[in-house]
Homo-oligomer: A and B are copies of this chain.
Amino acid sequence: MATAQLTTDRLAEKHRSTLDQALSTIRTRAYWSPYPEHPKAYGTDGSLDAAAGLAAHQSALNTRFDLDQPGTDGWTGGETSPYGPSLGIEYPHADLDVLLPAMRAGMGAWRDAGAETRALVCLEILARISARTHEFAHAVMHTSGQAFMMAFQAGGPHAQDRGLEAVAYAYEEQTRTPAGRAGWSKPQGKRDPLELSKEFTPVGRGIALVIGCNTFPTWNGYPGLFASLATGNPVLVKPHPRAVLPLALTVKVAREVLAEAGFDPNLVALAVERPGEGIAKTLAVRPEIRIIDYTGSTAFGDWLEDNARQAQVYTEKAGVNTVVVDSTDDYKGMLANLAFSLSLYSGQMCTTPQNLLIPRDGITTDQGPKSYDEVVADLAAAVGGLLGDDARANGLLGALVNPDVKARLEAAAGLGEVALASREVVNPEYPDAVVRTPVIVKLDGSKPDAQAAYFSECFGPVSFAVSVDSTADALELLRRTVREKGAMTVGAYTTSADTERAVEEVCLEESAQLSLNLTGGVYVNQTAAFSDFHGSGGNPAANAALCDGAFVSNRFRVVEVRRQA
């Protein structure tokens, strides 16, 4: 560390107060973020402004993205933006038998650096990523299909928040035991006390694998990446083949910071697969891989949990998110809130509501009773109004991330009576982008054949307005859905204290995160780092929550050395 440009003192000066604020906020759960949400906040203090970010992005296109990793045995790539253009970037392909041992080489020094230095190095990585938020926004937009503003916020500051949150949890967890040697003295009555000197060292488990997803490469990738790195583990990042660039940029920044701080840059590396190679499966069962973070399909998440037995496996899979509509004192607010939730990023969020459970006899509202048909029609009108203007629609919807989503959307119209048809939106800037508004399909909850549709995840801009016999019936269906299919989010609208209590009870019993009566500018599909838990880890949608003690505490072990004093 003597010759490092980034000394621990310098890192502490830059980041210790941010770490302290994060540590405080994960306890108060108040609002806080050190990373600006507004694009215009960038451009000073060495950060890239909009023009510089775009230029940086464009300069990466059609080039070879070199990371100077050991064991590079070729080049691979082939990302195409959901907005149309091919990115033309080639990434290193790794010989795992060379790369994995090289990643372990720096683990001892990283362990010996201690929890605080590891946390501060992570914060420096995040700060440099933050400074390039404009550049990351384009990378996220052109891999996930998110609209620019969402790519900017969710892929930038919100993802960085989740990374910092993980670092804070990791630091807190590792510093539960005293650093350095501590005395221990046990009285023995009249005899001399028994005395020992004890030293506790958090040690990483081994190489951590992050398996990235297509839709939120940074937001879903950063928690695992930073939790593992901060707890002393090297991290190998295996991006989704359609969404490599945001994580490749991340790995590059991490390697630069590690080297400048005097650590082995190979503590963070990238593994990009050749088309059809399927390296996630190969990597997942290698003995060197001791931790896996995964976001994606239930099928592969279950496979990982069943097969990667040598590793701690953290999965976020799929669920069937439900909103119970019982009654409201702000009908307009409810419709507007739901319309936005269904539209944002074309419903391609793991948190987007899918099933809206509405009593077939209708609901009570501040605008009088509304029948099931009226509620569905009014919601359809709200979505239609929200997305009536093409420019606004493009800004909210983004593009469909891949052809599977489009195929599901098209098939959904055949599942029942279409209350709101999906329409094609033209994106004048990117004519090849596949932009679609959501479809809302009416289903009779009492019909067994309808159940096949609403009782499984239909990822994309598809919602089902499911008619139920009563709110009690809705709650029973909610319970069964969460228990059997899982849920990242549950929403409910009710003016009845009894119903509110009953919905809460279902969510408490089935471990689901509940949003009640959202009618303003917060949506059921959004969670804020430091305050909201993303998933619960207690239902089939995910075996972990972002972020809590369980997310970090088993990524390291504490080794005690005790000596005769």
Contacts and interface: CB of A to CB of B under 8 A. Distances in A.
Contacts of A508: 108, 111, 201, 203, 559
Given A195-B520, A196-B522, A516-B563, 7 more contacts: A26-B176, A27-B176, A194-B521, A198-B532, A519-B564, A522-B562, A548-B553
Say whether chain A's binding surface is mostly helix, strand, loop, or mixed.
Answer: mixed
Given A27-B178, A29-B198, A196-B522, A554 B537 contact: yes
Given A201-B508, A549-B176, A559 B537 contact: no
Contacts of A321: none
Contacts of A517: 563-564
A194 B521 CA distance: 6
A564 B557 CA distance: 40
A108 B550 CA distance: 22
Nearest to A562: B515
Interface stretch (A56-64, A183-191, A221-229, A410-418): A183-191
A185 B548 CA distance: 21
B194 A516 contact: no
Nearest to A555: B550
A432 B80 CA distance: 80
A254 to B, nearest CB: 23
A306 interface: yes
A521 B559 contact: no
Number of identical protomers: 2
Given A194-B520, A520-B194, A554-B537, A182 B28 contact: yes
Interface string A499-531: 000001101110111111111111000001001
A295 interface: no
Most buried by B among A177, A194, A195, A562: A562
A559 B516 contact: no
A552 to B, nearest CB: 8
Given A509-B108, A549-B553, A177 B29 contact: yes
Nearest to A32: B186
A183 B31 CA distance: 9
Interface string A1-34: 0000000000000000000000000111111000
A205 interface: yes
A550 B561 contact: no
A390 interface: no
A536 interface: yes
A505 B306 contact: no
B512 A559 contact: yes
A29 B196 CA distance: 11
A469 interface: no
A548 to B, nearest CB: 6
Most buried by B among A27, A184, A514, A518: A184
A196 to B, nearest CB: 6
14 contacts: A28-B178, A31-B184, A31-B187, A504-B561, A507-B561, A516-B562, A516-B564, A517-B563, A519-B564, A533-B560, A536-B557, A536-B558, A537-B554, A549-B549
A203 B511 contact: yes
A545 interface: yes
Interface in A435-481: none
